[in-house]
Chains A and B, each alone.
Chain A
């Protein structure tokens, strides 16, 4: 199970040297976590200006006053923490096919990003979404900044059960309802919902000025269409809807074609809206996914 591996010390050790980059800070040196030239409380001096009534007397430059007898106020560059929200899809489809361990793949990728981000004391939280149209499920952890708090996520992910529908739009609505400052939102899901649903959700995040990253989870069997030949009835694990199919080599090719189309459409949407799209196809390809997709997600070695 990949969930257990997510908190394995050996695995985490591989992540120690990685840093999660931020698009808006690309111009500054690596590791700087300031966001824009916003004045405010901080440690890095920005400029000097004449005192005006109402300024905080704590920022008066007493040395300048003693030498020039002018009241001068020192200004600082405001430091804003990057808030990283990792949304994990806990709908029933993430647990099917069971052998694919899609949810485990989602968890290990999400926690890996969280661990990397916490290396720079970024504020990180995990969120799980799912449920039904009538009652959506939106669960979040507190925000943690230090890696010492990383293992607090273990209890959270261990208690997650994959059930219900993929209520991505409702989850985004819940997220935006509680967040005011823009941050980084990583959505990890199989996106087995209608395109309109995920397009609406991602558009809402962009509108709220979040930097959005998408990790598309697909299982090995789903991608290969490798089902035992014969006549079967397939049942949608979220809706319970049944359909009769006959599996064979030709049908497997059609399944692969369908998943490629679904993935291409999602990737196309993300590209058009400046969303980072990352493919995570197959839990067995974890190492390849991390090697190939983490740079795409802004993870810098």
Chain B
């Protein structure tokens, strides 16, 4: 409490003056009478008149005068308000798959949307709103504006994505909302505290946790097996704390070939096997029963073709040749492998055949007619050689450690791979894994795939001699090799990918992307003729180019995001708020002049009413 102007306190002396006037006027009211003759018999007053009469009128007038004086002096009280007169509200939405889960008939995102809409409509005029969504990354969906319509329109366009939200995306969203006085996070699960605290938001951070624990069954994996050879299996997982009844449907190339009903134990997984597929193609598994999250209720896989294909394996090392041939046959038993020393290749009849895949270890003979080529430990460019290297190999290292893979991220324990070439990838190739030399810090790609006009190309930078691929302690090398081989030999017109990953298709021309929701987007190729997109929905994407069409099927599964029952009871909001940074508020003077004047007016009215009542009762203006 205080005064805007201390000089205004001088007005306080007016109270004294006014009280003096008041007392003077009230000391002895004068009554006009017709003649003093009528009062001759009245005795003289025996009591001195009271100067100060502490009756109701006195207190009413004293309060009224004090209120007026304080109002004139600019009396104020200290108020607290969030930083900013017109507050900026940042509405941050989790757009992960869990937000698409249905709680009854309403999704969690719908619930969050309703909460946010109420916040916008109930906010004081002049407040600004911005809408930010985060999933794989943060996106400002509505820029800060005092006009609520863009924010409301952005709310309507919010859509849950078939991905698990990344903490880094939330961090980026909070950074985008850094200037906001109030940050409202709408999520179905509590974000990590360090994510919020590290961004140090200036405004009040409030978590609106939506949703309640619900049951969910997801397809965790789908293995098509080997057509006509070995059966496949589908992995189902029950995330609820009670048994779940489930019906699984399997179809191959659009034809259903299996329908299984089963009951899965609480928080357990079930493996549903099926007989060997009769042919290769697209395998589709689908949970027919209803549960909360439909994104993880279907999964796609491609089964290798049953048609025989020739594979050429060239390596100067017999052991390596043998290992690579075994792996190729393991991937597809229909491969007919021809393994040769590079020195013998020209002279043999193998050079005249057409191959579906050529695996070239530490060699690069010319004249190979193959639809796809995998270079293993590619030889560096030699002076005077006329052969075009698939990748620039500036040098070699004696040993390299596999550090990170594109699909799984950094390895918890690096895998020692042995000698390796240092690769400098061309732009049309994508790295699948990176490694670093033992004695160095600069990492380089150790596995990559790409496509040229004459076919697919894969590269493994490390050497596979000394049965590296069969070493049980270095299984990562084998897995990386198999994955690379699968990508190189995968059908060109069909792809199965994970949601959230970048999909690269070589179209060499502009192409149309038709999403599962039938929306169409035009994709422009880069300088190497590739179009890229990132599927955020589960289902079928079609890429239509002028010369070729590619079908992409996106799968979603995330063990944390699909676990919709792990939310348990709603979080204690007090605890959440307590753990969040304290709100930034400022203390400002709140004028109370108007209230004081209103109080004075009320007091004067009350006094007038009191006086009038007395005047009416006594029939005289002197009261």
B620–A238 touching, CB < 8 Å = no
A235–B33 touching, CB < 8 Å = yes
Using a CB-CB cutoff of 8 Å, which residues 554-598 of chain B contact chain A? none
| Complex Cα spacing A257 to B41, Å | 9
Q: Mark B6-18, 1 if CB is under 8 A from A, else 0.
A: 0000000000000
Using a CB-CB cutoff of 8 Å, which residues 207-243 of chain A contact chain B? 219, 221-222, 226-228, 230-239, 241-243
Q: Which residue of B lies closest to A253 (CB)?
A: B41
| Complex Cα spacing A96 to B30, Å | 13
Q: Is B28 an interface residue (CB 8 A)?
A: yes
The verdict on A192 contacting B620 (CB below 8 Å), with A233-B29, A246-B45 known, is no
Looking at B30, B35, B47, the one whose CB has the most chain A CB atoms below 10 A away is: B35
Contacts of A230 in B (CB 8 A): 29
A262–B37 touching, CB < 8 Å = yes
Q: Is B412 an interface residue (CB 8 A)?
A: no
| Complex Cα spacing A257 to B36, Å | 14
Q: List 10 A-B contacts (CB under 8 A).
A: A96-B32, A96-B34, A190-B35, A228-B623, A233-B31, A237-B33, A245-B42, A245-B45, A246-B42, A246-B46
Q: Which residue of B lies closest to A261 (CB)?
A: B41
| Complex Cα spacing A258 to B40, Å | 8
A interface list, Cβ under 8 A from B: 92-94, 96-97, 99, 102, 190, 192, 219, 221-222, 226-228, 230-239, 241-246, 251, 254-255, 257-259, 262
Contacts of A237 in B (CB 8 A): 32-35
B33–A96 touching, CB < 8 Å = yes
The verdict on A242 contacting B34 (CB below 8 Å), with A234-B39, A258-B41 known, is no
| Complex Cα spacing A245 to B614, Å | 20
Q: Which residue of A lies closest to B621 (CB)?
A: A98
Q: Is B619 an interface residue (CB 8 A)?
A: yes
| Complex Cα spacing A233 to B24, Å | 13
* Among B31, B37, B40, B47, contact of A232 (Cβ-Cβ < 8 Å): B31
The number of residues on chain B lying at the interface, defined by a beta carbon within 8 Å of a beta carbon of chain A, is: 27
CB distance from A184 to the nearest CB of B (A): 27
B30–A190 touching, CB < 8 Å = no
CB distance from A276 to the nearest CB of B (A): 24
* Among A92, A228, A231, contact of B618 (Cβ-Cβ < 8 Å): A228
| Complex Cα spacing A257 to B47, Å | 23
Q: Is B38 an interface residue (CB 8 A)?
A: yes
CB distance from B233 to the nearest CB of A (A): 106
The verdict on A236 contacting B36 (CB below 8 Å), with A97-B620, A228-B620, A244-B28 known, is yes
| Complex Cα spacing A214 to B424, Å | 138
Q: Is B622 an interface residue (CB 8 A)?
A: yes
CB distance from B120 to the nearest CB of A (A): 63
Q: Mark B54-81, 1 if CB is under 8 A from A, else 0.
A: 0000000000000000000000000000
The verdict on A97 contacting B623 (CB below 8 Å), with A255-B42, A257-B41 known, is no
Q: Is B49 an interface residue (CB 8 A)?
A: yes
Q: Is B44 an interface residue (CB 8 A)?
A: yes
| Complex Cα spacing A289 to B181, Å | 84
Chain A facing B: main interface SS: mixed
CB distance from A32 to the nearest CB of B (A): 41
Q: Which residue of B lies closest to A217 (CB)?
A: B34
* Among A93, A241, A257, contact of B34 (Cβ-Cβ < 8 Å): A93
| Complex Cα spacing A167 to B599, Å | 54
B interface list, Cβ under 8 A from A: 28-42, 44-47, 49-50, 614, 618-620, 622-623
CB distance from B54 to the nearest CB of A (A): 15
CB distance from A70 to the nearest CB of B (A): 70
The verdict on A234 contacting B37 (CB below 8 Å), with A228-B620, A245-B45 known, is no
Q: Which residue of A lies closest to B40 (CB)?
A: A258
B31–A234 touching, CB < 8 Å = yes
B42–A251 touching, CB < 8 Å = yes
| Complex Cα spacing A255 to B28, Å | 20
Contacts of A227 in B (CB 8 A): 31, 618, 620
Contacts of A243 in B (CB 8 A): 36, 39
B44–A244 touching, CB < 8 Å = yes
CB distance from B370 to the nearest CB of A (A): 122
Contacts of B33 in A (CB 8 A): 96-97, 234-237
| Complex Cα spacing A251 to B619, Å | 18
B35–A93 touching, CB < 8 Å = yes
* Among B29, B42, B618, B619, contact of A254 (Cβ-Cβ < 8 Å): B42
| Complex Cα spacing A232 to B614, Å | 16
| 10 extra interface residue pairs, beta carbon distance < 8 Å, beyond A192-B38, A221-B619, A231-B28 | A93-B34, A96-B34, A222-B34, A234-B32, A235-B33, A236-B35, A238-B35, A246-B46, A246-B47, A262-B37
| Complex Cα spacing A257 to B38, Å | 9
| Complex Cα spacing A238 to B41, Å | 19
B30–A233 touching, CB < 8 Å = yes
CB distance from B47 to the nearest CB of A (A): 7
| Complex Cα spacing A245 to B47, Å | 10
* Among B34, B50, B614, B618, contact of A192 (Cβ-Cβ < 8 Å): B34
* Among B32, B38, B49, B618, contact of A258 (Cβ-Cβ < 8 Å): B38
B28–A234 touching, CB < 8 Å = no
| Complex Cα spacing A126 to B46, Å | 47
| Complex Cα spacing A286 to B49, Å | 39
Contacts of B42 in A (CB 8 A): 245-246, 251, 254-255
Q: Which 5 A-B pairs have the closest CB atoms?
A: A93-B34, A192-B35, A228-B618, A96-B34, A236-B36
A235–B30 touching, CB < 8 Å = yes
Contacts of B35 in A (CB 8 A): 93, 190, 192, 236-238
| Complex Cα spacing A192 to B35, Å | 7
Q: Which residue of B lies closest to A243 (CB)?
A: B36
| Complex Cα spacing A227 to B46, Å | 18
| Complex Cα spacing A74 to B366, Å | 183
CB distance from B574 to the nearest CB of A (A): 62
Q: Which residue of B lies closest to A192 (CB)?
A: B35
| Complex Cα spacing A96 to B31, Å | 10
A192–B622 touching, CB < 8 Å = no
The verdict on A231 contacting B45 (CB below 8 Å), with A221-B619, A238-B35, A262-B37 known, is yes
CB distance from B618 to the nearest CB of A (A): 4
| Complex Cα spacing A178 to B40, Å | 37
| Complex Cα spacing A231 to B51, Å | 11
Contacts of A231 in B (CB 8 A): 28, 45, 47, 49-50
| Complex Cα spacing A97 to B35, Å | 10
Looking at A226, A227, A241, A262, the one whose CB has the most chain B CB atoms below 10 A away is: A227
CB distance from A247 to the nearest CB of B (A): 8
Contacts of B45 in A (CB 8 A): 231, 244-246
A232–B29 touching, CB < 8 Å = yes
Contacts of B620 in A (CB 8 A): 97, 99, 227-228
| Complex Cα spacing A190 to B38, Å | 12
| Complex Cα spacing A258 to B39, Å | 7
Contacts of B38 in A (CB 8 A): 192, 222, 255, 258-259, 262
B31–A254 touching, CB < 8 Å = no
Q: Which residue of A lies closest to B48 (CB)?
A: A231
| Complex Cα spacing A255 to B36, Å | 11
The verdict on A232 contacting B619 (CB below 8 Å), with A192-B35, A258-B39 known, is no
| Complex Cα spacing A239 to B37, Å | 11
Looking at B29, B32, B44, B618, the one whose CB has the most chain A CB atoms below 10 A away is: B32
Contacts of A241 in B (CB 8 A): 36
CB distance from A53 to the nearest CB of B (A): 64
| Complex Cα spacing A222 to B37, Å | 11
| Complex Cα spacing A230 to B46, Å | 12
| Complex Cα spacing A96 to B41, Å | 20
* Among A92, A219, A228, A262, contact of B614 (Cβ-Cβ < 8 Å): A228
Contacts of B47 in A (CB 8 A): 231, 246
CB distance from A38 to the nearest CB of B (A): 44
B34–A245 touching, CB < 8 Å = no
Q: Which residue of A lies closest to B615 (CB)?
A: A228
| Complex Cα spacing A236 to B32, Å | 6
| Complex Cα spacing A246 to B48, Å | 10
B28–A235 touching, CB < 8 Å = no
| Complex Cα spacing A258 to B51, Å | 31
| Complex Cα spacing A106 to B524, Å | 112
